[in-house]
C-alpha cells in the first residue's frame, strides 16, 4: 500500500471534481432521476484510479506508463507517470503521478483531460 500525497493543483482538481459530482447527485435526487450524471461518473472513475494506485501502481487496468512532458516535483531526474482514469473517450481523464517524496508514497501531480 502507498500513501498518497497531493500537489496543490491536483488537490484542487480532485476537490472540484468531487464537488461537481456531489452537486449533480443532489440535483438528480431532487428531480427523482436514477441515472448518474457525467460528473458523477467521472469522479467515480478518478477516485477508483487513485484507489488502485494506492494498492498497485502497476495494475493492468491503469495502463500506467512514463510521461515525459511533466517534471517530477521533487527530483528532476526521476520519472513521472500517467495512469488512465478513462479509456476510449474523447478528452479522457488521466492522473499524473510520481513516486515519493518518501518510500511507500505516491504524489498525485495533476488530474486532467488528456491533451
Q: Phi and psi for 70 in degrees, rounded to 5?
A: -115, 145
What pLDDT shows up at residue 80? 97
Nearest-angstrom CA–CA distance, 27 and 14: 20
Omega prior to 101 cis, within 30 of 0: yes
3-state secondary structure of 109: strand
The 8-class DSSP code of residue 97 comes to: E
Q: What is the CA radius of gyration of the chain?
A: 15
Which domains, and CATH codes, for the chain? Answer: 3-113 (3.30.2310.20)
Half-sphere exposure of 1 (CA within 13 A, CB side): 2
Over residues 29-57, the mean pLDDT reads 93
What pLDDT shows up at residue 24? 93
Pairing of strands 93-99, 81-84: antiparallel
pLDDT tens digit sequence for 68-89: 999 999 999 999 999 999 988 8
pLDDT tens digit sequence for 16-26: 999 999 999 99
Amino acid at each position: 500500500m502507498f500513501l498518497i500525497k497531493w500537489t496543490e493543483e491536483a488537490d484542487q482538481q480532485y476537490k472540484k471534481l468531487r464537488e461537481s459530482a456531489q452537486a449533480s447527485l443532489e440535483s438528480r435526487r431532487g428531480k427523482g432521476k436514477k441515472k448518474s450524471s457525467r460528473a458523477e461518473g467521472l469522479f467515480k472513475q478518478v477516485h477508483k484510479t487513485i484507489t488502485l494506485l494506492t494498492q498497485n501502481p502497476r495494475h493492468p487496468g491503469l495502463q500506467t506508463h512514463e510521461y515525459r512532458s511533466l517534471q517530477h516535483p521533487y527530483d528532476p531526474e526521476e520519472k513521472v507517470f500517467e495512469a488512465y482514469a478513462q479509456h476510449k473517450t474523447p478528452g479522457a481523464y488521466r492522473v499524473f503521478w510520481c513516486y515519493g517524496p518518501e518510500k511507500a508514497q505516491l504524489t498525485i501531480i495533476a488530474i486532467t483531460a488528456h491533451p
